[in-house]
Structure formats: C-alpha cells, structure tokens
Amino acid sequence: MKDTLELREFFLIIKKSKKMIIIITLLCSILSALLSFYVIKPTYEANATLIVNQNMSKNNSDITGDDINVTQQLAITYGEIIKSRNVLDSVIDELKLPMDYSEIKKLITVSTIENTQIININVQYNNPKIARDIANSIPSIFRHTLKRITNISSVEVIDYAALPSKPIKPNKILNIIIATLLGIMISIFGVFLREYLDIKLKTPEEVEDILGLPIIGVIPFNEDIE
C-alpha cells in the first residue's frame, strides 16, 4: 500500500509542476532548433576511391597470395602518404584554399577496405564544392608524388567524388528529439530536487508522518483575520 502511495505522490508532484516541465522542455527544443537551423554550419561529405594495381610485369595467372598481401600493405602505406604534408600542401596551393596543412588534414580521412587494394578518400567540409574539389585533387597530386618517390605510378582512380547534394550533419530532427528528451529529464529532475529540498510541512498527513502522532485538530486559515 505504501509503495502505491509513494508512486501516487510522484505523479502528483509531476502533475503539480507540469507547467514548469512543459516550459523547460519547450525551451530546450526551441534552442536546439535554433542552433541546428541557424548556428551550426552544415557539413558535406565527398568520397573518391583509388585502387593499388598489382605488379603489371606478371601475368594474372602468376600472381600469388603473397603478391596480393604486399599490394594490400602498399595500400596502407599509400594512405599515409596521401595525408603527408607534401601532398596536402600541394592540394592547398592548387585549389588556393584559405587553410593550412593542419586544418586540411582534419578534413580528410583515408581508409583501406579490408582484404582489398582499394583506398577510400573521405573529405568533410562545410562547402560542398570545396569538399568535392579536395577529394578529386588528391589522387592526381598523390600519383605525381608517388612517381617522384618510387618512380612508379601503381594507383588508378575508381570513382571521382561527386558534388554532395545534402549535408551529412547536423541531423536537425535528431538533435531536436534529443534536446526534447533531455529537457524532460532535466525538468523532472529539477522538480524532484526542489521537492526534496523543500522541508516545509504542507499537509496534516505530512505532520503525522514526521511526528508519528495523530492530528487532533486543524486550524483553518482565514485571510480576513489580521
């Protein structure tokens, strides 16, 4: 019975403070919407893919598993060269970008697809055209750098990056939903914290619970009495 009464008290507290809960939740939702639509810059993603060729001096029938493993390791090594200062500084100069090496490096993710010779170049930036141009400029500059370093050019482009049509973030709807849920949680926590810190006895039942004594009588409050 006591558990039922306590649960009922919780609902009564929430019901009593529902106006504050609604206001805080709405404020969180509105703030999230304003940030998502008007403050946070959208981020666009462009992808280009390369493939590391096998040793062309061999016939296809002569290629072994070791050759493929070596090629896959080369793909990992080439991925590091793509992110080198030499390559990225050349991209900056070619595209006349208003950024330095450390800034452009943060925009680029180079990864290899497991058990393949394929390299994926991912560029994320708030300007879709620049994101695409960076992704497409890297392969040609990288191939030139690779030829200068190793005297071979064993990389070919599979797909050039297309112009991104939609941003990948922020996810405006998801941000608003998360902010709304946080608003509900924060407001409910605030309501119960305020109730916990309020030590005033408001009802005869609370007096009985605290003192463990029955109420003999209640003096009514009259506002007309001074």
**The three-state (H, E, C) secondary structure of the chain, written as one string:** CHHHHHHHHHHHHHHHCHHHHHHHHHHHHHHHHHHHHHHCCCEEEEEEEEEECCCCCCCHHHCCHHHHHHHHHHHHHHHHHHCCHHHHHHHHHHHCCCCCHHHHHHHEEEEECCCCCEEEEEEEECCHHHHHHHHHHHHHHHHHHHHHHHCCCCEEEEECCCCCCCCCECCHHHHHHHHHHHHHHHHHHHHHHHHHHCCCCCCHHHHHHHHCCCCCCCCCCCCCCC
Is 114 contained in some domain? Answer: yes
Is 102 contained in some domain? Answer: yes
Indicate if the pLDDT at residue 30 is higher than 90.
yes
Lowest mean pLDDT among 2-6, 28-32, 87-91, 144-148: 2-6
pTM: 0.70
Is 57 contained in some domain? Answer: yes
Is 51 contained in some domain? Answer: yes
Enclosing domain of residue 52:
44-159
Indicate if the pLDDT at residue 2 is higher than 70.
no
- Give 204's pLDDT tier (boundaries 50, 70, 90): low
Indicate if the pLDDT at residue 54 is higher than 90.
no
Is 31 contained in some domain? Answer: no
The CATH number that applies at residue 92 is 3.30.70.1130
The total number of structural domains in the chain stands at 1
Indicate if the pLDDT at residue 47 is higher than 80.
yes
